[in-house]
Structure 1
């Protein structure tokens, strides 16, 4: 008992797992795939936007670097030209030239020419929209400034562009902050002498302001100091000797990406990072050490927020669906157990029904075979009846001829035979032999027809035959069934209808319909007409109509006349298989259709048959019965 309970419990667990396990795998996996697809699609959109932003900022920075680089070379060339001209007052001429440059390019806040010792010789400052020429004691010694020292070390024709820093005046950082880029190059005269340095101070405030228009934009220098960052208090740390204000302190993994890649994009726990290094070297055809390294960045936390929202939404939906499916699967498992019990009961019942059905099918097959034999028996009886007449007539002729021949022999032996008697005997013998021959030929024809029809029904081989000849054979063989009934059988079948089909089954169909009309179409004592007609349609099919002008078929019986064992003459010997055999042979063997048409006022019945002229081809027409 315990083993049975354990087996039942194991089957129950297996059944539940069979229903639940696939869904516990499919739904979480499908939810993850849908979430991943939606997350990737949203992330791609954000990624494209951030790459465009960083690319725009990068081009902006590269434009400033390229501009100051080219302009300082132009400034140095112009300064050298003035010095080569041997002008009486070169300083005044340079001050005028620098002022013109300042008016043409308002982004420059200082334009200077320094001596080889780093002392300012000509300087033009910008104070708002105004330009001011600095002279006399206001000129400063800049020899201690790093950009002057680097400029003095630079080879002629080369440019030193300082890092982006804050402008310093009088050893103090100017406030408000003025981000500055300084470009320095040597002034070389036509004779090859170095006549100091040309220096441009580019006011990068506009650049910084443009970068700040996007809340996500950032700018760091080659040491990782924030120049534009998410926290203004952490910017320009190198100006205050504060190394903690660097990106690698707060985001070391981001800095590793920046220093090892020219540009890139990645997602971490802080957000989506996009970065690129300003690279004007290719356009200017210079080495990287002449231009400071500046990196534009952006960081957005939207993807992280979006991922959390999508995770919450999709996983909540997935959990809800999984819960509902689990409940449904549990219900199905419970129902399956109940159905399994019912199935076993039905299986037992079905086994019993199968046995009973097999017995019924065997009985039906036997009855159908009996009905077919009965149909053939009726034909045999008719043939036997028909053979009695020619055989009896032949026997009578032979007997009469024998008697006459015996009388003539006796007269001949007696010697009393006249010529006229001999001629009379010969004439009688000739007439008698002709009559006997005709009777025997008639009998032979009937036997040949019967043998052909019986053989066709047994073999059911496809043959080419004349429909008119087949119907004529059937009527000749069944003549005994209807010639004494008082009914008239007429035919209208063209002689040119040639069919390729099964003549045996088709003959049995026509015989069964003829017999059915003789038995059922007329009341006792009435006489009528049964007609058999045929015609060929354009669809290569032949229509055969077996009609009578009898009492017709009641509407309640029409739909059931082709059912097996359905008959209205059960007590009069009817089996209900005749029309069932007609329907079976017509549809299953001959590839045709059969339906019933009633006459006016439900008088008379027409059995309408339609077959393909060649049974190897399908019937082309769909019929509405």
Structure 2
């Protein structure tokens, strides 16, 4: 080899070395930039997960508080109607029946502590306090909650959530209070009387969870704190404190009074917030402008967020150093082996081309598989959604229909009462009889609606595991009595008869609402499938108590089941043409075996009948899960 060739070979080696060195520096820089980007993305992802968790927490708190206000609305409207009827009989408001009605309301809502009837000038006509009965009347002229707009019948006024004032001074100990008002339906001269119900707001705060490393606040739209981790800052306008939302969070602007719910915000590098708003339906509630919504805000601890960023950076720094060391070692090995590998360059180039072609084929195959996978996932989502919708409709149908029938029954006597009242022929006996009938029907409707509420709560919690620690003591005799009474009430002219046999005292530690729902489903299944229309029949529930378990047998003397081994399969139904989905017994099986930790079996003979036998532990908390 001549000098020229040697020089060219040396120059070629030096050129390759320079390129490797430049490539190494570029790769190291790229790794550093990638480390920064990955650290920031991991930090943002962790913060976003916390914000999403807070979104669920705030939505749950908001839903529970709104539910409390909705129950308050129903109680106020029902009480206003009953007081209106009683005030027509006793315009002096001195009858002991006012006490009886009020005590019933106090029992229904433990946070209700005062009932007043007053005119719009502030003069009280009736004042009943929880545990004391009739109380001395006061004049509340000038109070801000008397500046209420015109109320139509059936519409409610929600006052400002503030501290209660008695005789011009804050009540001690301090009691946060909100007031709900409804107009009474009375003839002149009492047509402008309004009933006010005072509710203790402290129970609302029991829904506020304890969030480690975070602080939770509730404020009105004018910035006044309703709930603050520091108790002395709550209701600052009444207690003389100057602290407000804008003082602690100056970068969060809520001055326009229209909060966009479900938002997150950052104040500085490591101070994050999540907030949402509770809004009150203007078609039902009349409120002051500053009370149309409440703000719920969660603040993350800055030190915790800063520590999270440092931890993520350190965890990613170690792989970065390992990669840099590996990169240096590989570079040195490449330089050392460059001469030996030069002869293999052409072969490697050919192999690289072949690998590139195979790689392209693999990419095409991967994309096809990913497309098929996405289609399968979407199909599974649609199927799961269809099953959930069918299950919800199936389970809510009975209590909602029962409540509707009860309400219809309660409304039957109203036209006749109105006619007799206009003719002046309404007697006390007729009125009391109608009110008693309405009260029974509405109580039954309340039981159905309460059952619907439990069902909705249960379906919302289907995604999480029900632990044995959530069980409680169940009076099974009481549950069976309610089940029998409801069945007979909803089927007054039916040829079917439901009988229940149980020991005098049957108690167990379990999920009472789930047991009731299982028995309801089994009875409804017998009514729907066991008997031909117009044919009399009997359904029996027998309870046998053992040392550590209960056996409940639900039997009928109907036509039996042709394929009893398939009744627990999802979507299996012999009555699909009549609107049955085939989910009822499948859900019963899941509830009994998974939630109640029991067993269920079925036996059936054609034209003899069917028996479902449940075996449940008496103490669910002692079952080895």
Structure with more contact order per residue of length (Cα contacts < 8 Å, sep ≥ 6):
1
Superposition TM-score, scaled by structure 2 size: 0.46
Superposition TM-score, scaled by structure 1 size: 0.46
